[in-house]
Amino acid sequence: MSTDFGIDLEEVRRVIDGAVVLVVRFSLTDRRLLVDTRTNDADGPLVRVVPPVASGEERFKALRALRPGFPPPERILTFQWPRHARSLVDSGLWEHLARRAVAIGGPATSDDCEAAMRELIAAERRAEITAIRGGEGFKTLWERG
- In tens digits, the chain (145 residues) has pLDDT values of 555 667 889 999 999 999 999 999 998 899 999 999 999 988 889 999 999 999 999 999 999 999 999 999 999 999 899 899 999 999 999 999 998 888 887 666 788 899 999 999 999 999 998 888 877 877 777 767 6
**What pLDDT score does 108 carry?**
63
The amino acid sitting at 127 is A
pTM: 0.87
Q: Cα–Cα distance between 85 and 121 in angstroms, integer?
A: 6
Sequence-distant (≥ 6) Cβ neighbours of residue 12 within 8 angstroms? 79, 93
Where in the chain does DSSP place strands (E)?
21-26, 32-36, 46-50, 77-81
Q: Cα–Cα distance between 122 and 104 in angstroms, integer?
A: 27
Positive or negative CA dihedral for 140, 79, 4, 101?
Answer: negative
**In DSSP terms, which residues pair with 47 in a beta bridge?**
35
**What pLDDT score does 101 carry?**
87
Of 88, 117, 111, which Cα lies nearest the Cα of 13? Answer: 88
**What pLDDT score does 133 carry?**
82
